Structure 1
Amino acid sequence: MLRIENLNAHYGAAQALFDIDLEMAAGETLALVGANGAGKSTLLKCIMGLLRPSQGRILLEGRDVTAASPAQMVRNGLALSPEGREVFPDLSVRENLELGALVQKPGRKELQARCDEIYQRFPRLGERREQPAGTLSGGEQQMLAMGRALMARPKLLLLDEPSLGLAPLITDEIFAIIHQLARAGTSILLVEQNAARALSAADNACLLANGRVVEKGAARELLGDPVLRAAFLGSASNSNPAASRLGAAGLTNIRLEKPDMRQQNFMPEFNSEEELRDHQLRGLQWTVRHAFEGSAFYRNRLDQAGINPNSIQSLDDLRRLPFTTADDLREGYPFPLRSVPFEQVVRVHASSGTTGKRKVLCYTQKDLDDWTRFFARCYQMAGVTPLDRVQIAVGYGVWTAGMGFQLGCEKVGALAVPVGPGNIDMQIQFLLDFQSTVFCSTASMALLMAEEIHHRGIADKIAVNKIIYGSERSSRSMRRKISELFGGAELFDITGLTELYGPGTGIECREHDCIHYWGDYYILEILDPETLQPVPEGEWGEMVVTTLAKEGAPLIRYRTRDITRIIPGRCACGSLLPRHSRIKGRSDDTIKFRGVNIYPSSIETILSAVPGLGSEYQIHLTRGESSGRDHMRLVVERAEGVSRERGAELIHEAVHQIKKQLLVSVDIELVDYGELPRSERKSRRVFDTRIQDEIV
């Protein structure tokens, strides 16, 4: 869009700009940041044709426009919102706006259409369209100056000190509008003395000092750099926030006391795969000893297998250990696998399941600290920083999801918006009001939100640039649709299960072709679900996990039933942490429906307790193309000899009991006795068509 080469500028004999080189792409927001006198406004004047450079070139879309006049630059697609607003006080709001398009000479109908667009973007200007501009507040005059520039429908919008002299709340509103313009595809060159606000609103930035570019780079990286923060923002403390320009401006929504992201590194300090394997061996030896000494269940299992803590001499000895299953957890309810005294247990979480038989896991404080730390690692790998606002739309309570997402978010230092699941209207309101930059949910919830955002036409009014989702499978087409309807947000698939702390045990990196899992906290095996023997590297099999540091309820060769595969070699992202593919399916018949694990046997138990229903049933799972919502339909036979007149009564009771016991809503279709197929082998009960295309 714009290239500046070796640009110099003078005011008389005084040189203001020295050899400026920069470029920006179409659709980019580039911030020019620096103190008073750094040369920011001078550079804008040169670009706009208000000041003739003494040396160098200005190229707009590849054309040399160095000597162009301001009117020619407007015709070329530039518009300037100047420092100090410079509105015409005696003219009305409408007349000021019309001047913005004067050079282009649009017809009256076109002029009115452009004014209407501005009134829609700035409703307060529409309310005051015939009011003299001089009677507007400072914030309203800034909106008018920006609206006047937008009347030219510029390819590149130049904003000179848009927050100058404005109250903090008005500044927030102005920058929200700048963000909306950027989301709508407008290229913006932003000059701003308030470095924190400019950098947080931009993609890239140039820092100017004494007429020279002293630093260039991604805006978020520059804002996170402690040296540059000290140089451009000053220093502040809780007792004296005004010691920085940020604090003096009253902008408390970006907190200087947050830890610097560059100093917070949640990645392991291993330098090689060999160091990781050494760590895993020490962790495996500790886990076997801890479980043997602390859990009657594990001691009995290990004794039966002829294993004692001294038996583990290498990672190959892992294969000698016995397996643990979900049935072991349910049979050990309410505190299965507990390996510490009760006084060391500080919390329990449970996975979904039938009432009274959920898989409950207990946690020590160290378990929670470890979980929080590696969840923060997930956010770090996804590029989340203390400047982000993370809207958490997953379940809270006994489930692990909400708590894990929130603790990790706060550990990173980002702002958490703990909304919980559902309530679409509130989710949308918070996206708009809080300008959340990260959205966390299940895949189906993300698709439902994406459809609603598209339906309401607000993709350019929200700030979400990352979606972190988990709990259920998603296909490539589903991911692509979510991203597009969210306005181009980047998606990150996060993995985890309650038995293994909770969500956050792995996440895809920014290469988006794998899941990095935390090999320093657990060992992952991929086994044939029938033979329970290892499959060759790269082939699909069942994920089996063994924890390395979990105190409350350690896992030894726990069969997750999830199907995936190990991806060999080092990832292109540079991380040495091992990788697996996205979850492809299950090796058992467990259903994941709207974040709830459901066993067909649980449904069978509920149906069998409703007098008048037969023993044969089918479960049909579909996903709405437009809504993205999962649907469950049960086809159930009436019992032999039961009349059709009882249909409404039977359906009502069955729906009620399933909702009460499994916490999900279903549709039920009754058919005559004997209508469903029988088989000598195991009847097919589940028909899941939610995922139609490939997942990787």
Structure 2
Amino acid sequence: MLTIRHLTAHYGAAQALFGVDLDVGRGETVALVGANGAGKSTLLRCVMGLVRPTGGSIVLDGDDVTQAPPARMVRKGLALSPEGREVFGELTVRENLELGAIPLALGGAEKARRMEEVFARFPKLGERAGQLAGTLSGGEQQMMAMGRALMAGPKLLLLDEPSLGLAPLITDEIFAIIRQLARGGTTILLVEQNAARALSASDKAYLLANGRIVEQGESRRLLNDATLRAAFLGASTDNPAASRLGAAGLTNIRLEKPDMHNLDFMPPFTTDEQLRVHQLRGLQWTVRHAYEGSAHYRRTFDEAGITPGDITALADLAKLPFTTADDLRDGYPFPLRAVPFEQLVRIHASSGTTGKRKVLCYTQKDLDDWEYFFARCYQMAGVTPLDRVQIAVGYGVWTAGVGFQAGCEKIGALAVPLGPGNIDMQIRFLLDFQSTVFCSTASMALLMAEEIHRRGIADKIAVKKIIYGSERSSRSIRAKVSELFGGAELFDITGLTELYGPGTGIECSDHDCIHYWSDYYLLEIIDPETLELLPDGEWGEMVVTSLCKEGAPLIRYRTRDITRIIPGPCTCGSILPRHSRIRGRSDDTIKFRGVNIYPSSIDTILSAIPGLGSEYQIHLTRDAAGRDHLRLVVERAEGVEVQRGAELAHEAAHQIKRQQLVSVDVELVEYRALPRSERKSQRVFDDRIVDDIV
């Protein structure tokens, strides 16, 4: 949108700018930071036409505007909120705002519409519309100066020192508004002496010292790179004045949680061979640990004629017997336990079929490992200590909430642990806390996206990333969620309780795969019918083997999730291998509104209701608004009167709601109305996903 090349400017004989080059892309927020006298305001005034450059060029939307006057710049889509506010104290708030649109000669109706938009964004100004501007507080005057600029409907908004002279709380409010403007699509060039504030609110930044650009780059990189902070921000040195920014007089920059910026949770391996050596060592340790500590594994290994000494290569993994969900339920309440009880510090559980849940136990090392690689998920998604992470997944015996929170705190971001549901509170927290990352199930993300769109607040929230999991979702659903969230970037995160919990993998910024943490577990793909290994690239059932899990190690655990290993390196450059997003299940397990439902649990409920038959079907659909619906079709028992249909349907729906915590529509049909098969009857008809997942 804006291109500046070799710009020079003088005040008389004194030169203020020396060959400045700067670019602002459409939709970007670009920060220009530097000390007093560095030339920041001069640069803005040159762009606005208030100061005539003595050399170089300024190009706006392809047009050379180097010598254009201010009124023409306003008509071309620029507006300036100047340093020091420059309010007209003897005019009212409304009159000050009207001045911003004078060069456009707007009609009365359009001027009134824009005025209402400003009042909607700055409610305090609406309350004081008839008050003299000189009686406003400093923060209110800054809001008015920004509102006056917005009256011009700018394509590019120039903000000059918006936090100057304001109290910290008011500064927070001003920068929240700046982020909202950016979310709404306004392009912003921000001049700010408080570099930490400017960098955290912008996409890229230029460091100006003595009229010259001395550093530039992505704002997050400048904030998070320890070397750059030491060199340019003075935040990692005992002598801030020795830094380049410190030498320019900017010594007031300090960042919270400085140690967090140095953390790197990616594995140290640089070659595939190094990774394979680590994996073999972990596999051998796991097999021995399981054989010596777990009665279940000792029995199954002995039955298979396997001893720990037989594992001498990664290929020997195929010799080991499979572990299934039934093994976990049969071993309830401490299945697969391989350490003494005194070493256990926590349990978590996933859904069960008939009351016996899959319970997994954890040592402290297990929890530390889980926290560490969950932080890796956040790192791969680009989350930093500057982010505010709203966690809208379940807490309690489930692994989701505590996993998301531990990883968030490990990486140093601010956790907002809200839990699932309660849409009004979710929206309120997005607005009040300006959360930048939203974590939820796929269906919750869609529900929130619809509500954000319905309330028209996409430009008032700050969510830039959505990390979702637990349910499969198609490309069209992902696109819809991103759009309604105002362009947020989506990351599909994987995991299961049996293997620590969520966080065992996540898609990278190239968004064509899931990178999985192969230094913590091995992944195989098998044919769910023949149990034969499948080559990379073919779809099949995911089987996992942990490499360092102490409490309840997993050896060739059949997850029932359908995916494929993607061969070759990822374009993102990560050495970690990858698999496709989860396409479905090899059994009939379904996920409905965040709840795992097993057909066998439905069968158990229905069989306890006299008058219902044994045959049923589960039909899952998704309406135009993105809401999932479950219709249960059940046969009446042989000889049961039609008149009892309403009573039986009501009782079935009530029992499913009570035991499975979901609402369903129940439809009763005649005895033998549903098809029979000599093989396994198809009971689940899931029509929610209508396009590709990859």
Task: Please give the residue correspondences for 1:103-502 in structure 2 after superposition, counting only pairs within 5 Å.
Answer: 103-230=103-230, 234-235=234-235, 256-261=256-261, 263-354=262-353, 356-502=355-501
- Shift of the alpha carbon at 1:197? 1.1
Q: Counterpart in 2 of 1:575?
A: 574
Tell me the alpha carbon deviations over residues 2-40 of structure 1, each in whole angstroms, 9 at most, x when there is no partner: 111111122222222111111111111110011212111
Contact 1:354 1:662 in 2 (8 A): no
1:353–1:596 CA contact under 8 A, matched in 2: no
Residues 100 and 149 in structure 2, CA contact (< 8 A), matched pair in contact too: yes
Kindly provide the amino acid, as one letter, of the partner of residue 64 in structure 2: D
2:656 alignment partner, one of 655, 658, 663 = 658
The residue type equivalent to 1:119 in the other structure is F
Shift of 1:640: 2.1
Shift of 1:613: 1.3
Distance between the aligned counterparts of 1:109 and 1:593, measured in 2? 49
Question: What is the one-letter code of the residue matched to 1:323?
Answer: F
Any conservation in 2 of the 1:236–1:256 contact (CA below 8 Å)? no
Displacement of 1:236 in angstroms is 9.1
Native 8 Å contact 1:10 1:54 kept in 2 = yes
Task: Write the deviation string for residues 163-213 of structure 1: whole angstroms up to 9, x where unpaired.
Answer: 111111211111111111111111111001111111111111101111111
SS in structure 2 opposite 1:606? helix
Deviation, structure 1 residue 669: 1.4
Determine which of 672, 675, 679 is the counterpart of 2:670: 672
Distance 2:104 2:484 in 1: 34
Please say if residues 328 and 336 of structure 1, whose CA atoms lie closer than 8 Å, have aligned partners that are also in contact: yes
SS at match of 2:259: coil
State the alpha-carbon separation in 2 of the partners of residues 543 and 257 from structure 1. Answer: 39
Residue 642 (structure 1) shift = 2.3
After superposition, the C-alpha distances for 1:626-685 in whole angstroms (9 at most, x for unaligned) are 1x2222111112222223333333233322322232222222112232322222332221
1:405-464 C-alpha deviation (Å, 9 max, x unpaired): 110011110111111111111111111111111111111111111111111111111111
In 2, are the aligned partners of 1:348 and 1:361 still within 8 Å (CA)? Answer: yes
Question: Residue 258 of structure 1: CA displacement?
Answer: 4.3
Q: What residue in structure 1 maps to residue 31 of structure 2? A: 31
1:129-177 Cα deviation digits (max 9, x unpaired): 1111001111111111111111111121110000111111211111111
Aligned equivalents of 1:664, 1:363: Cα separation in 2: 30
**In the alignment, what sits opposite 1:241?**
none
CA distance in 1, matches of 2:36, 2:639: 89
Q: Deviations over 1:335-384 (max 9, x none)?
A: 00000000000000001123531100000000000000000000000000
AA matched with 2:404: F
Q: Secondary structure at the match of 1:571?
A: coil
- Aligned residue for 1:562? 561
CA contact (8 A) 1:394 1:401 kept: yes
C-alpha contact (below 8 Å) 1:623/1:690 kept by paired residues: yes
Q: Counterpart of 2:45 in structure 1: which amino acid? A: K
Q: What CA distance in whole angstroms lies between the structure 1 residues aligned with 2:521 and 2:78?
A: 56
Q: Which amino acid aligns with 2:691?
A: D
Match of 2:592 in 1: 593
State whether residues 613 and 639 of structure 1, in contact with CA within 8 Å, keep that contact through their aligned partners in structure 2. Answer: yes
Contact 1:34 1:232 in 2 (8 A): no
| Residue 645 (structure 2) pairs with residue 609 (structure 1) | no
Most deviating of 149-158 and 564-573: 149-158
SS at match of 2:424: helix
Tell me the equivalent position of 1:100: 100
Alpha-carbon shift at residue 255 of structure 1 (Å): 5.4
- Which residue, out of 635, 638, 663, partners 1:637? 635
Compute the displacement of 1:231 (Å): 5.7
* Separation in 1, partners of 2:109, 2:265: 58
Q: Is the CA contact 1:355–1:662 (under 8 Å) kept in the aligned structure 2?
A: no
Instruction: Give the residue type in structure 2 aligned to 1:67.
Output: Q
Residue in structure 2 matched with residue 43 of structure 1 by the alignment:
43
Shift of 1:545: 0.7
| Contact map agreement 1:637 1:671 (CA 8 A) in 2 | yes
Residue 11 of structure 2 aligns with which residue?
11
CA drift at 1:109: 2.7
Change (3 A) 1:666 1:606: same
Q: Would the alpha carbon gap of residues 630 and 645 (structure 1) be closer, same or farther in structure 2, given more than 3 Å must change? A: same
Between 288-297 and 639-648, the greater mean CA deviation after superposition: 639-648
SS of 1:431's equivalent? helix
Letter in structure 2 aligned against 1:678:
R
Write the distance in 2 (CA, Å) between the matches of 1:525 and 1:227.
Answer: 41
Distance 1:148 1:635 in 2: 61
Letter in 1 for 2:185: G
1:649 and 2:643 aligned:
no
Measured after TM superposition, the shift of residue 541 of structure 1 is 1.0
Deviation at 1:695, TM superposition (A): 0.8
Give me the whole-angstrom Cα distance separating, in 2, the residues matched to 1:315 and 1:589: 32
Give the superposition deviation at 1:567. 0.5
| 2-structure distance, mates of 1:389, 1:111 | 37
CA distance in 1, matches of 2:44, 2:613: 78
How many residues align structurally?
683
- 2:116 and 2:402 map into 1 onto residues whose CA distance is 46
Matched-pair contact (CA < 8 Å) for 2:230–2:236: no
What is the letter of the counterpart of residue 520 of structure 2? Y
Q: Give the corresponding residue for 2:241.
A: none
Residues in 2 aligned to 1:332 and 1:97: alpha-carbon distance in whole angstroms: 72
Residues 46, 53 of structure 2: 8 Å contact kept: yes
2:514 corresponding residue in structure 1: 515
CA distance in 2, matches of 1:520, 1:99: 62
Structure 1 residue aligned with 2:59 = 59
Question: Does the aligned pair in 1 maintain the 2:27–2:187 contact within 8 Å?
Answer: yes
SS state at 2:481 partner: helix
Counterpart of 1:668, as a letter, is V
Shift of residue 316 of structure 1?
A: 1.1
What's the CA shift for 1:229? 3.4
Give the secondary structure class of the aligned counterpart of 1:633.
Answer: strand
What does residue 242 of structure 2 align with?
none
Measured after TM superposition, the shift of residue 233 of structure 1 is: 5.1
Distance 1:259-1:648 versus aligned 2 partners, 3 A rule: farther
Q: Deviations over 1:487-529 (max 9, x none)?
A: 1111111111100111110111011111100100001011111
SS in 2 for 1:631: strand
Asked if the contact 1:74/1:152 (under 8 Å) is kept, the reply is: yes
> Aligned equivalents of 1:395 and 1:328: distance in 2?
26
Quote the Cα distance in structure 1 between the aligned partners of 2:295 and 2:236.
54
- Alpha-carbon distance, 1:234 to partner: 4.5
1:587-629 Cα shifts (integer Å, max 9, x gaps): 1111222222222111101110111211111111112221x22
Q: List per-residue Cα deviations over 1:566-604 (Å, max 9, x = no partner).
A: 110110000010111111111111122222222211110
TM-score normalised by the chain length of structure 2? 0.96
- SS state of the match for residue 632, structure 1? strand
2:100 alignment partner AA: G
What whole-Å deviation, never above 9, does each CA across 1:255-282 have from its counterpart, x for those lacking one?
5224343x21101010111111111100
Give unmatched runs, 5+ long, in structure 2: 238-244
